[in-house]
Structure 1
């Protein structure tokens, strides 16, 4: 029963599956380029090699995780991230970076040392041998493998090369319009910088990131309605301006 369905497959699929079967240990079948969800030791090296050779960028957080975070799907997780980052930015706005980092490390050490001493006293009083309270976390293997390091470096290099190419294209005026747009944007940013500093802009950006998506999700219909009206009015104004410009009207006529 399986042979007729296999015969109807495309040549590319059959060829890739045959390569995967020939490269798999023991000639066992399986989907091409895929390993089991739990990861068997027999296919670990092949999975790592295919992952390293893959051109897909590596990211620490998936799109779904970021989406769930900014839309407050898990209130505790989003509240913790939002609260800690906001407190950090407000602290940086009031104090120096060295002071903020020093106080943060001192606060963390105060919590861990106090908990360590507390558990030691409890164990001495109760005469129990529970061991170190952070033993489960100390035993966690956090070693960064060379393959994972190269994956992250390759993913970062993709974005760095793209940014360098964009910078060269804008500053060397490959497209005059794009370079002029950058110049106008930077000129407007001088006025923004005269009113706000970088930390203030980061605080405002965080407030917008964690508030605008939720508001838009709740009032999506009303917002889309007014945005559509504004877009139509802007489009009509641009068309009127372009109609009065002789050069633009001539290009449209051609």
Structure 2
């Protein structure tokens, strides 16, 4: 059941949360893609053959969308449209309830809930498919929160990333969705979200990689909180 929160007014402070490694311990999109591929041995074989080329592409910002699209395409060959993909996403979530719930970060959810209780205009912007993030948030009664994510669509007999909600494109997609006011507060773990963090009046870095902490301190305003919300293996101060 959805909890009752104050209505989000258009002039309320805009608060944006990343999803992976921020509200969720791990990369939810990668977990979904892995499951999609593992549904058939021939998909696994195709992924292994593609990995030497597509794998390194995922690691670099300019080629990340193309690399991810390769694995999405392998996992979705035969899927005709987004409605059919949504059915698969629902099946994945329904068959991994316990594992998914265990990855939701309680400290992060407390902060998320506090913003909603304050009447803030809360938005999730994620590199994962929005249908996946919405389904996971439904476990904790936040399925009504707006979610902006990577848009997938038909491509060569499967599905591919049409618009990757990532780096500068994340801010573009937020604005195009009608969230045009100043971002009051933004929460993210990733250096790929620097355009979002730098656009926020009050950026908050959560669960960053240890190797990125010095960079965040250099490019974000002095005193920017760098926190760990219970994400093992990640850096940040414990609240």
TM-score by length of 1: 0.20
Bigger Cα Rg: 1
- Which is helix-richer, 1 or 2? 1
For CA contacts below 8 A with separation 6 or more, give which structure has more relative contact order. Answer: 2
- Which is strand-richer, 1 or 2? 2
